[in-house]
Amino acid sequence: MRRRAFVAASAATLTVTLLPGCALVPVIPKRPAPTLSDAAGWVRHASGRYTVHLPRAEMGQNIATAFKQIACDELGAAWDSVEVQLMATTTIARVKATVGSDSVKDYALPLAQACATLRLALEAGSRDAVLQAQDLPPTALRAFSRNATWVGRAAPQVQGREIVTGQPLYAADIRRPGMLFGRVLRAPASPETPSRPGHFNEAAGHAVPGFVAVVTDKRLAQSNAQGLGIVAHTPGALDRIEAALAVDWLIDPVADTRSPALQIDLAPRLERGQLAHVARKGQLEEAAPWTVDMQLEVPLAAHSAIEPRAAVAEPRGKQMALWVGGQDPFYQRDVVARALGLNVDDVHVQAMRIGGAFGGKTLCTVELEAAVLAHTLRAPVKVQWTRKQELAQAFHRPPSSHRVRARLRDGKLTDWWHAFSTSHILFTGAAMPPWMQLAADFLGDAGVARGSTLPYDCTNQRVEYDLTRLTALTGPWRGLGAAPNLLAVESAIDECARASGMDALAFRLKHLSQPRLKAVLERVARDARWGSPLLRQENHLLRGRGLACGIYKGMSYAAAVADVEIDSRTGAARVARLWCAHDCGRMINPDQVRAQTEGNLVWCIGMMLVEELPFANGRVQASSFADAPIPRIADIGAMEITLIDSPEPSTGAGETAMVAGAGAIANALRDAAGHRFNRVPVRASDILQALRR
């Protein structure tokens, strides 16, 4: 069957099978674009005070503060007269998941238009209960004028005082009368591997003080892992009950016992011929020798949010109320309603502040566990995952294997070939059964391909990739494919500059025609005094400097310079200083853009020097941050962030700096050690081996 015919047939199959209530098909997230009609419901007025119902999840990006700034400017209201309430499925129309750094880009304008409509109506003496928001142009809106009072400036952080004084803001903080505490036990295996509880000592569990119930329910399945629920009067009893039950888990043989790195290894795929998906189709001159031929291996990595996910569910007659810390409360509502056999209007979900998500809290996991336990016991139940559960049961950044070849003629980039092999991101196996993922695979995975297209001028360019469903669950991780893809791109571009005998900055500028990308690159070079002498060796310290840049989702721009230090005695590497120039268009709150940029750069340090999730024998081999570490304060050098004050429309800041930070560190390590490392994270042993060559 030809590819085009297969795609058409697959689409037809999906159209037939994706029917409401079909038990064979998972609940599909709905991702509607925001409309003016929706926005009219985000802002309310009563007795001289205003309420903004946040249409996005608040997960530390401080969108609540930014949207309050817009509302205050557009309403002409005092700061203290506007209250922000987090999203609830009962107060606003459905909105899509908070993903993709698109909250300001897609929601700021309709919010401002709705606020302006309300202000004009109040000024005209209207007392209508329902208003239709007017489609006012940005030039007619106060919030986007240069005379705005709040937008474009720092502002008091919504919930800031509550955070530092330890007030209840998160799902785990919820307390309900008569609340019980639950946990769903699962086999020590990846949820992708079929498993279920065998024998367990229920009598021993009953004997533990605080024991309430053991719950066996088919609805406690996650992927292919059937769970066993336990409920107690106190959270401290859960560990003791789990130990007393001593569950004998039945685990099917692992389909592929190789490591994730071997499962996605690129080399054998290239030997078999062309890869399955083409992100950029170009004709390359195969016979001519390549100037640069580089490989890069990126391992599995966890999201490592400081807050383990939690949810509270409370039965209310035929209805169910939930308090969640997820990125898509409407999707979680739909999943719970399907599982419990309820109408979606009978499931009420209140979003709470999220203590970090980074793409990892988009599914319905702990929320369904809490709902099933509460529905079974007819009592409120809180479920909070342990760190071990977060690592073992969540999805993670997929590993990827890259090969980049480039050809230069007279110092000019003429041919570029980037091939890579990885696992799924948007069509994640954590949510899709294999048959459904196979059909979706024919269309490729835009999350996997993100950032893989070369931002530089090149006559011929080809980008292709393969996808493999792994034993380990994979999915969206901050920046999706942009972080590993642009790390490979910027590393290879640096090698091209070296091969041409040109300075890394000059080579990039020679091949850039995108003015905003050139602007951030030139700015960060000025800030870091690129080209000034660097003390390369001092006693046992070796120093290096690197530069990188990139475009995020075709809309936001970042460039970075990194200074690294290597201890030649131990091989230990440290990022001493990072500079970053960042352009995400018009900024609502520069302080929060700066904070997001700093956070991205810390992730880049982790990606290059620290983070890897061990996985072997069909399961994650880590139970804490000791086994899967993240960067610590001592790992973070000084940072200098320059935010470009751009008149362009607002785009995204939540993930943008991922396109530049890791590449800059990689190139600085190359400069310091005189060796291109082809695997991350770069360990001290790798550096010592390179120095001894």
pLDDT above 80 for 21? no
Q: What are the E-state strand segments in 255-318?
A: 277-280, 292-298, 310-316
606 and 584 in one domain? yes
The DSSP call for residue 144 is G
Do 268 and 345 fall into the same domain? no
pLDDT band at residue 23, thresholds of 50, 70 and 90? Answer: low
What would the mean pLDDT of 322-340 be, rounded to a whole number?
A: 97
The residue out of 164, 195, 227 marking a domain boundary is 164
Q: What is the pLDDT of residue 22?
A: 52
When divided into structural domains, the chain yields a total of 3
Answer yes or no: is 52 within a domain.
yes
Q: How confident is the model at residue 11 (pLDDT cuts 50, 70, 90)?
A: very low
CB neighbour list of residue 262: distance below 8 Å, 6 or more residues apart: none
d(CA 362, CA 476): 9
Q: Which residue has the higher pLDDT, 602 or 131?
A: 602
Element (H, E) at 184: strand 180-185
Structure confidence by residue, pLDDT tens digits, 671-692: 999 999 999 999 999 999 999 9
What is the C-alpha separation between 369 and 366, in angstroms, rounded? Answer: 5
Identify whether residues 474 and 374 lie together within a single domain.
no
> Would 22 be classed as within a structural domain?
no
Judge if 245 and 294 occupy the same domain. no
What lies within 8 Å, CB to CB, of 111 at 6+ separation is 39, 42, 43, 52, 55, 67, 70, 71, 74
Q: CA-CA distance, 377 to 23, in Å (whole number)?
A: 24
Amino acid, res. 537: Q
Q: How far apart are CA 70 and CA 103, in angstroms?
A: 13
Residue 425 token pair: 């991101």
Is pLDDT of 18 > 70?
no
pLDDT, tens digit, 9 for 90 and up, residues 473-522: 999 999 999 999 999 999 999 999 999 999 999 999 999 999 999 999 99
Using 50, 70 and 90 to split pLDDT, how confident is the model at 285?
confident
The reply to whether 192 and 65 lie within a common domain is no
583: which residues sit within 8 A by CB, 6+ positions away? 516, 519, 520, 556, 557, 558, 643, 644, 646, 648
Question: Quick one: which of 147, 145, 141, 120 has its CA closest to 131?
Answer: 120
Assess if residue 531 is contained within a domain.
Answer: yes
Same domain, 405 and 359: no
The reply to whether 638 falls in a domain is yes
Is 335 in the same domain as 477?
A: no
Q: What is the DSSP string of 346-414?
A: GEEEEE-B-S--TTTT-S-SHHHHHHHHHHHHTS-EEEE--HHHHHHHS-BBPPEEEEEEEEEETTEEE
Range of the structural domain that residue 180 is part of: 171-253+309-384
683 with 578, same domain?
A: yes
In a domain, 8, yes or no: no
pLDDT digits (tens, 9 = 90+) for 221-261: 999 999 999 999 999 999 999 999 999 999 999 988 899 99
Average pLDDT, the chain: 93
Residue 557 CB contacts under 8 Å (≥ 6 apart), including other chains: 514, 516, 517, 519, 520, 549, 550, 551, 582, 583, 584, 644, 656
335 & 214 share domain: yes
Partners of residue 226 on adjacent β-strands: 221
- Tell me if 236 sits within 8 A of 183, measured CB to CB: no
Asked if residue 269 and residue 245 are part of one domain, the reply reads: no
Tokens of 626: 């000791």
Q: Residue 15 falls within a domain, yes or no?
A: no
Output the CA angle 547-670-268, nearest 5 degrees: 105
> Which pLDDT band, with edges at 50, 70 and 90, does 126 fall under?
confident
DSSP 547: E
Indicate the range of 343-347, 373-377, 644-648, 685-689 predicted with least confidence.
644-648
Angle at which helices 366-377 and 329-340 cross, to 10°: 40
Indicate whether 219 and 143 sit together in one domain. no
Q: Is residue 215 within 8 Å of residue 230, measured between CB atoms?
A: yes
Does residue 485 share a domain with residue 612? yes
**pLDDT for 8:** 34
Give per-residue pLDDT as tens, 633-662: 999 999 999 999 888 999 999 999 999 999
Quick one: tokens of 266?
């690129």
Q: What is the separation, in whole angstroms, between the first and last Cα of the chain? A: 52
285-289, 355-359, 655-659: the lowest-pLDDT one: 285-289
Domain containing 379 — which CATH number?
Answer: 3.30.365.10
Has residue 492 been placed in a domain?
yes
Percent of the chain with pLDDT strictly greater than 90: 87
Across 618-639, average pLDDT: 95
Share of the chain above pLDDT 70, in %: 96
Residue 3 belongs to a domain: no
Q: Are 472 and 465 in contact (CB under 8 A)?
A: no
